[in-house]
Homo-oligomer: A and B are copies of this chain.
Amino acid sequence: MDFPLPSIGAAVASGSLGSEQAVQACLERIERYDPELRSFVCLRAEAALQEARALDNEPPRGPLHGMPFAAKDVFDTADLPTEYFCRLYRGFQPARDASLVSLLRLAGAVLLGKTATVELASVGDIPETRNPHHPGRTPGGSSAGSGAAVGAGLVPLALATQTGGSTIRPAAFCGAAGMKPTWGRLSTEGVKPYAPSLDTVGWIAEDVALLQRTAAALGLLDAPGAGAGTGLRIGLYRTPWWDEAEAATRAALERAAGLLQEAGHAVTEVSGPPGSERLNQWQDVVMHGEGCISFQADYRRAPDLLGQGIREEAENLRGISAADLRAALDHIAALRPQFDALLADYDAWLAPSVPGEAPERGPGTGLATYNRAFTALHLPCVHVPGFTGPQGLPVGVQLVGARNTDHRVLAAASILEALISAD
């Protein structure tokens, strides 16, 4: 596959490309590349073009005016079916837009279509979506289509969700920028719930600048970002799972740290508080324990129309008790202020995004080893793309900040992205 450079977003943002032209360009790319990539599950081509034309004749509403975007098919949309890649919801048409879709449309962004998801953004069936950099590799999950579509340059921006690693992982595997904000800062209304204590809405974009524009349109940049590009304080956080990092990820993390230091930023090794090493296990208990509750109504209604993974989740095959779930929630909650306190001395911590390059397509979509703990801790995470591994596939790193420092993490990510790009 030979995909276009993903730069439509920058052109719209700078005003060099009108909204209608941008939508038209996206549609042409989708028509050409998506039969093989399979990142979109439905489109609203004519309606999007009409909206774009109208927006081109309007005064700008804000930083996303005229910007084409897609939404993972777990976000409800009033004018497109929402199927969650679940047979029980084939042809399902919600009555209104999810909160985040509504906010982006009110801000002048143009909904182009819905992107493929792993069933119910959970442990269910896996879509046929390809990695834009290698058709035999997974694009990651569960936001498979959002990662692939943005990574391939078919659309500059796509909404995603993360309960384990479902935004950062596909962004990393597909070579796109990705943002998982602080949990709770944006409403998840109208997104199919999986594990409410973890579920976070996020987005994948062609670059960090567009991540920032999206955050601004959603009101997340209420505090000023970092300054002129010098004097960042970065913690190098290898995490308790460093021995699971492959050579590609190890090299990316070291190179990112080196680039920051060479540019005059302070990089120091950090570690988490006692108990950090158990965060991934606790996240697992919360995700599957709450997932079992979330899927009960669907399961009792039509178990045969759910994938095997969802059925097993609803049947609590892992045997998670209410006491297990409560204990995991409490352990995680106790660590949140401790991580915030440690992070307060830094602009962000630098950590791996994924174990390595995208693995082959198969029964899974790659591991969330470096995402679970941060999701559980409710921390803002930004995946910065730009590195390539030994197999020629994207590898990246993420920056992670204290809760509610989304703006600061994005600003640091912007600096790091420029350094990687100039490398």
Q: Is residue A185 within 8 Å, beta carbon to beta carbon, of the partner chain?
A: yes
* A217 → B minimal CB distance (Å): 11
- Cα(A186)–Cα(B322), bound, Å: 12
Number of interface residues of A (CB under 8 A): 43
11 more contacts with CB within 8 A, not counting A184-B196, A189-B297, are A92-B95, A92-B96, A94-B94, A102-B301, A106-B300, A184-B293, A185-B322, A187-B297, A188-B196, A219-B296, A330-B333
Contacts of A186 in B (CB 8 A): 293
Quick one: which of B185, B322, B334 contacts A333, CB cutoff 8 A? B334
Q: Is residue A134 within 8 Å, beta carbon to beta carbon, of the partner chain?
A: no
* A407 → B minimal CB distance (Å): 11
Number of copies: 2
Q: Is residue A388 within 8 Å, beta carbon to beta carbon, of the partner chain?
A: no
Judge whether A102 and B336 touch: CB under 8 Å: no
Contacts of A333 in B (CB 8 A): 330, 333-334, 336
* A181 → B minimal CB distance (Å): 11
Known: A95-B93, A193-B189, A333-B334. Contact between A326 and B103, CB under 8 A? no
Q: Is residue A197 within 8 Å, beta carbon to beta carbon, of the partner chain?
A: yes
Contacts of A99 in B (CB 8 A): 294, 296-297
- Cα(A219)–Cα(B314), bound, Å: 12
Judge whether A187 and B334 touch: CB under 8 Å: no
Q: Is residue A135 within 8 Å, beta carbon to beta carbon, of the partner chain?
A: no
Contacts of A192 in B (CB 8 A): 189
Contacts of A337 in B (CB 8 A): 330
